[in-house]
Amino acid sequence: MDEAEEEAESRKTQLDKVQKKNEALNRELAVKEDDLLRLQSLRVQLEGDLEESKDKSDAAVREITRLRGSQAGTRAATRGASRMELIGEDELSD
């Protein structure tokens, strides 16, 4: 019976070791799952920030384009008015 008891004790010791290893792995897995959730949340936040930044950049480009067009239109109108003034002066001098 001693040999059977030793075998049972050896198996119990092995079982305890495996259970402790399993518990440690489960804790490690839980930590990694928490890290993964935090990273996924951060990714979603960063994607939102990037989209917002892109929208602001696109709006700025549109505004610059609009202002350049407005500036070009103002220059053309000013040139046209200057020409009209020159034509008017020429007619007056005749």
Is the per-residue pLDDT at 15 higher than 70? Answer: yes
Could you tell me which residue, 79 or 21, shows the higher pLDDT? 21
The shares of helix, strand and coil residues in the chain, as percent rounded to the nearest 5, are 100, 0, 0
C-alpha distances out from residue 83 to 69, 70, 93, 94, Å: 21, 20, 15, 17
φ, ψ at 65 (rounded to 5°): -60, -45
Could you read off the pLDDT of 40-92 as tens digits, one per residue?
999 999 999 999 999 999 999 999 888 888 776 677 667 766 666 666 555 55
User: What is the pLDDT, as a whole number, of residue 68?
Assistant: 84
The residue assigned the tokens 């034509």 is 87
At residue 1, the 3 state secondary structure works out as coil
The Cα–Cα gap between 72 and 59 comes to 20
Residue 23 has pLDDT above 90, yes or no: yes
